[in-house]
Structure 1
Amino acid sequence: MKISPLRSVRVTRYVTPLREGGSLPAIVEADDGFLYVQKFRGAGQGPKALIAELIGGELARFLGLRIPEIVFSDLDPALSRLEPDEEIQDLLRASGGLNLGVHYLSGSSTFDPVVNDVDALTASRVVWLDCLITNVDRTARNTNLLIWNRELWLIDHGASLYFHHSWENWEEQSVRPFAQVKDHVLLPYASRLEEVDAEYRALLTPEVFRELADLVPDEWLDDPASQRDVYAKFLTSRLAHSSVFVNAALYARNALV
């Protein structure tokens, strides 16, 4: 089983901003006629958020979780001339070139743990993934989960892999437990973590992580060969020490239930 390459599209129209977060994602239309949630390289944390979105999202897809299609999206900064909002103009000008788009799930609703059900296996798979990629942004306050066609879909992995904001001590960070799992919105339902750990350890390999790192475009990296190597090695090391984050998640779950 291989990691699939991404399609590429060209942004033709800026539709509307999504002001839920500080990075100002937006709904855009592309030349294939579809709408996408655009993640801009010129926003807040720059290309690193796009890299985390790409690696985290495509890893989730490889593991069989539901992820809207992710595409490379080319943006002409000249589109900024059509926008009256100065903040949006600045963002579009700063984001010329290659960005990332996530297929817009029209009619979806935000997952609400009070209203929506999730089975134990799915919850355990999502919690395990987020522990692996150190995704701090799947809390009750901001679930980054959608219900679409009565199914659970994962979105927005841009806060994952936070070691790359400093690149320091990545080896040490790769073997640490994921302390933020205690706030994970699906942790109370994740009663099959040990089963999922065995399932995913059998499925994932260093070659899979290398293929994921190879998806990252050169222009998003300062030192492409070296940094891709670190991404692959970080995930490989984290997988090899998965018992550390699984045990931490089990401990945190026991404290809740």
Structure 2
Amino acid sequence: MSKIEIRTVDVLQYIKPLREGGSLPAIVKADDDFLYVLKFRGAGQGKKALIAELLGGEIARAIGLKVPELVFMNLDDSFSKTEPDEEIQDLLKYSVGLNLGLHFLSTAITYDPLVPISDEMTVSKIVLLDSIISNIDRTHKNTNLLNWNKELWLIDHGASFYFHHNWQQWENHLTRTFPLIKDHVLLERATMLEVASEEIKKLLTEEKIKEIVSLIPEDWLLSESDTLTPNEMRVAYIKFITTKLSKIDSLVNEANDAR
């Protein structure tokens, strides 16, 4: 199994904000000449949204789903000085340092549930992924799915792992399932949940989970308001994911009942 490597690039040019996202992500150009959707550490949910984006995206990739390449993006303080929009100016100022980018799929279109483009196995994996990572943001209102080259691509996992917004209570989430799966945009077509769960268990080994969690930059785990150390947080993320995986049969039953 190949080792996960996340490249680090520098932001060269701020092109435009994507105002449909609540956290004002932006299209930027990096020093490798590619375009990225940049998620800012200074946005509403801060570094925790970047952690959820990183973990959710790489877990999805590990189980064979399509996710745009994720990169770490260095943003310097020059951009805020030339930005006329005050809201964006503040966002750029508070985001100096290491941020997260997704490769921009330039001709992709938003997924239309009325025009299904993927097989039931893929759909079932996506539903179970979102149950495992407690992703509340893949609904008919906001699919966070793209149709690119007639394939289904997953984006925006920043609302996952919401337990990490309150570390004092995080262990309470270990015993919970994910009732919000009833609102999942793909639930109706997820007819192969049992088969998908077996494949996920094979691909998402404890070793792979630890490798994915180890990708989180130390800086993103530091906050004056948090009660845990960065190392304790890493242990918590690993325990959360492995516990959910050990309860995958319950997640399958819950999704089947909701469907």
Fold agreement, TM-score > 0.5: yes
Instruction: Provide the rounded CA distance (Å) in 2 between the counterparts of 1:209 and 1:228.
Output: 11
Give 5+ residue unaligned stretches, structure 2. 223-228
* Counterpart residue number, 2:38: 38
Query: Contact 2:60/2:66 (CA < 8 Å) preserved in 1?
Result: yes
- Scaled by the length of structure 2, the TM-score of the pair is 0.95
Letter in 2 for 1:230: A
Instruction: Provide the rounded CA distance (Å) in 2 between the counterparts of 1:247 and 1:169.
Output: 26
* Counterpart residue number, 2:126: 126
Query: Contact 1:118/1:189 (CA < 8 Å) preserved in 2?
Result: no
Range 163-172 or range 87-96, more displaced? 163-172
Instruction: Provide the rounded CA distance (Å) in 2 between the counterparts of 1:174 and 1:246.
Output: 16
Instruction: Provide the rounded CA distance (Å) in 2 between the counterparts of 1:29 and 1:203.
Output: 33
* Counterpart residue number, 1:219: 219
Give 5+ residue unaligned stretches, structure 1. none
Letter in 2 for 1:238: K
Letter in 2 for 1:231: Y
Instruction: Provide the rounded CA distance (Å) in 2 between the counterparts of 1:46 and 1:212.
Output: 20
Instruction: Provide the rounded CA distance (Å) in 2 between the counterparts of 1:169 and 1:81.
Output: 40
Query: Contact 2:68/2:155 (CA < 8 Å) preserved in 1?
Result: yes
* Counterpart residue number, 1:55: 55
- Scaled by the length of structure 1, the TM-score of the pair is 0.96
* Counterpart residue number, 1:251: 257
Range 112-121 or range 240-249, more displaced? 112-121
* Counterpart residue number, 1:153: 153
Q: CA-atom RMSD, angstroms?
A: 1.1
Percent identity over the alignment is: 57
* Counterpart residue number, 2:140: 140
Letter in 2 for 1:234: F
Query: Contact 1:214/1:228 (CA < 8 Å) preserved in 2?
Result: yes
Query: Contact 2:117/2:150 (CA < 8 Å) preserved in 1?
Result: no
4+ runs deviating over 3 angstroms: none
Instruction: Provide the rounded CA distance (Å) in 1 between the counterparts of 2:188 and 2:9.
Output: 39
Once the two structures are superposed, residues 130-183 of structure 1 have per-residue CA deviations (whole angstroms, 9 ceiling, x without a partner) of 101010100011000000111110001000011101023433312311111000
Instruction: Provide the rounded CA distance (Å) in 1 between the counterparts of 2:30 and 2:68.
Output: 15
Instruction: Provide the rounded CA distance (Å) in 1 between the counterparts of 2:23 and 2:178.
Output: 24
